[in-house]
Structure formats: C-alpha cells, structure tokens
Amino acid sequence: MNRMPEPMVSVENLRKSYGDAEVVRGITFQIFRGEFFGLLGPNGAGKTTTIGMLTGLVEPTGGRILIGGHDFFLKPMQSKAKLGFVPQSFALYPTLCARDNLAFFARIYGLRKGRLKERIAAVLDVVGLRDHASQTVATFSHGMKRRLNIAVGLIHEPDILILDEPTVGVDTQSRNAILETLEGLNKSGVTLLYTTHYIEEAERLCNRVGILDQGKMIALDTPATLVRNLGTGIVRIEFNANPDDTLLRQIGHLGSFRVIDDRSRHLRLETDRTDRAVREFLDLMDKRSGMLKTLDIIEPNLETVFIHLTGRTLRD
C-alpha cells in the first residue's frame, strides 16, 4: 500500500483584502515533501501576496497555513525556521562581499562558527559562486546576484525553499544556470515553491502547478494532466487587412476552431487538433490571396491552458 505523501505546506481558504479589494480569494492547496510546486499567474494574480502570507510578511485576512505541521500563526518562529525565502528583489547588501552577505543571513538563522563556514562553502558551491566569495556584490552581474540571492535562501538548509520569480531580468545563459541549480536542489530532496509567469520554466521544473488568476486558484494539477484535460492548441493569425464579416463567419463555421480573441487584423483561435484546423483554414484562405500575413501555431501547453481558462495570456 502506498503511503500518503507528507504535506510540507498546507494552505486552507487563504484570503487577503486591502480595504474593499480582495486580492487573494480563498485559495487552498498543499505542497508535498520533495515536490517542485509552481504557482503560475499573470502579474497581479496574487502570487506575491500569497508568497508574502506564506513567509509571514503579509498578514492574511482569513484562512490557515501549516508549515511542516506547525500552524504558522500559532508558531511563526518554528514555521519560519523551516522556510527559505528568495524574494523577487535581490535583497542583498551590495557593499558587502558574497561571503559576508551569506554569513549575515546565516547568523540571523542561528548558524555559528564551523557550521556557518560549512554552509557558506556548500551554498556557494551549489550556485557556482565559490570563486567569487570575496567579491563585492555591487560588482556582480545580474545573473550572479540572482544566484547569490538563491544561495542566501538556502543558507540554513530549509525544508522548503520559496522562490518568487527568481529568473526575472536575467539572460538566457544565467537563466539556464539558475534552473539547473533548482533542478539539482529538488533532486537532492529540497521542496520548492516557485512562482513565475514564464510558462516554459514551470513546464520544465514543476511536478505540480497551481494557476492563480485574480486571486483565485483556477487550476491545480500536474502540468501533463492540465494540458491533457484543458490544453488546446492555439493558432494566432494576422491579416494584412481587417477581415470582413463574411470571412469571420466562415472561420466561425469551421468546426475545429473556436474564436477566442478577435482584434482588428488579429485573430486567435483555439483548437483540439491544430494540424487539421490549420489545413482547413489555409483552404479557406486560398480563395483570398494576399489576405494572410502571419500564422503562428502553439501546441497545447500550460500557456494554452491558461488562455483556455481565462481568455488571456500569462504575460497580459
């Protein structure tokens, strides 16, 4: 008989309001030990507020959070000790060197002497900054700062590492380095909660994802299940001129399409079978030579799941 996995984080009906505006509207989810959990959503979906409540920085209006079995609000210190936090901002002291930054945060978590040195060396290795330990952070590149930011979150060996959009503003090479680091951490047993609006990152890294939109959890499952159940292909079409009503009607009658966005010369169509849908559409366009400017096919993925659920893209 399979044992039930142990939940590291349990969030129950979590709410947050600022005045009349409710930014997190009763979300519920669990993160299990060793899991790489992604919290996806466009800007303003409530990701950062949710992270704020999980780390004790934002006081919830209602609901409950359990970290490693501890009720966060009854035992905040024990709960916080189990968490590592990597905020979206660098949250480093630029005039100090990497080692001093790490030593400072290590002491905040109660690490001393030999253990402190040992952990500093370990996390510098994990993020590949050992050779830059004595370098002032102000001289670091964006990517190096992001890596050190992660190292600080790991310094006390937390049970769960919470990362709020840790790859924002970094180049592709540094992004890959960061993602590899996170994959390595997960393989070594660290539980991760990861927020992003980069769909490809979530697809690459996460065992399960929760999709937030306007403060609500609108989907929660493994990426594969979500794509299988909710994912549809998307065809983006751009015309050289505004499509007339006849053309739009004809497109609407193509059984394999669903028009989900219609803006002047742009059309966005949702389909279960992109190959068939594109073929039918191109047949239609044969009679209107020169009308089609571009055609962009997106195979079913988390982005199309989000579009299917909300009618918007994650980066809208």
Partner 1 sequence: MLQQIIAITLKELKVVWLDREALLLLFAMPMFFILVMSFALQGVFEAGTKGRPVQVLVINQNGGPLAEQAIADLKRIEELMLIETAGGVSLSLEKAEALIRKGDYSLALAFGTGFSERILQDPRASQGEKATVYLISDPATNIQLLASVKGVIRSTIERRILLATMPQRMKQAFGNPASEIPLGLDPSNQNMGNQFERILEDPHKGAGDSSIVVFVNASPKGFSAGRRPTATEQNVPAYTIFGVFFIVLTLASSFLREKQDGTFQRILAAPLSKTALLIGKLLPYYLVNLIQIGLMFAVGVILFDMKPGYLPAVIVVSMALAAAANGLGLLVAALGKTEAQVNSLSVLFAITLAALGGMMVPAFIMPGFMKTLSLFTPHAWALAGYHDVIIRGLGLKEVLPETGVLLGFASLFFAGALWRFRFD
Whichever of 73 and 93 has its CB closer to partner 1, that residue is 93
Tokens of residue 311, six digits? 């009618």
Kindly state the smallest distance separating residue 81's Cβ from partner 1, in Å. 5
Q: How many residues does the chain have?
A: 316
Contact status: 96 vs partner 1 (CB under 8 A): no
- At residue 172's C-alpha, the angle toward residues 158 and 93, to 5°, is 50
Contact status: 70 vs partner 1 (CB under 8 A): no
Residue matched to tokens 């951490």: 185
Residue matched to tokens 């009720």: 71
Whichever of 49 and 271 has its CB closer to partner 1, that residue is 49
Whichever of 78 and 225 has its CB closer to partner 1, that residue is 78
Q: What is the DSSP string of 48-92?
A: HHHHHHHTTSS--SEEEEEETTEETTTSHHHHHHTEEEE-SS--S
Q: What is the DSSP string of 178-217?
A: HHHHHHHHHHTT-EEEEEES-HHHHHHH-SEEEEEETTEE
Kindly state the smallest distance separating residue 55's Cβ from partner 1, in Å. 4
Question: Using CB under 8 A, which of the segments 50-58, 201-209, 219-227, 300-308 binds partner 1?
Answer: 50-58
Contact status: 73 vs partner 1 (CB under 8 A): no
Contact status: 83 vs partner 1 (CB under 8 A): yes
Binds partner 1 (CB under 8 A): choice among 30, 49, 55, 181: 55
Q: Residue 98 is inside which H or E element, if any?
A: helix 98-108
Binds partner 1 (CB under 8 A): choice among 36, 37, 85, 194: 85
Binds partner 1 (CB under 8 A): choice among 108, 138, 224, 241: 108
Residue 65 near residue 10, CB atoms below 8 Å:
yes
Whichever of 89 and 289 has its CB closer to partner 1, that residue is 89
Give the 3-state secondary structure of residue 163.
strand
Buried (b) or exposed (e) across 278-288, using 16+ Cβ within 10 A?
A: bebbeebbeeb
- The 10-49 site mask, x for binding partner 1 (CB under 8 A), equals ----------------------------------------
Contact status: 116 vs partner 1 (CB under 8 A): no
Tokens of residue 72, six digits? 């966060």
Question: Using CB under 8 A, which of the segments 36-44, 87-95, 202-210, 247-255 binds partner 1?
Answer: 87-95
Contact status: 224 vs partner 1 (CB under 8 A): no
Task: Point out which residues bind partner 1 (CB under 8 A).
Answer: 55-57, 76-78, 80-81, 83, 85, 87-94, 105, 108-110, 152
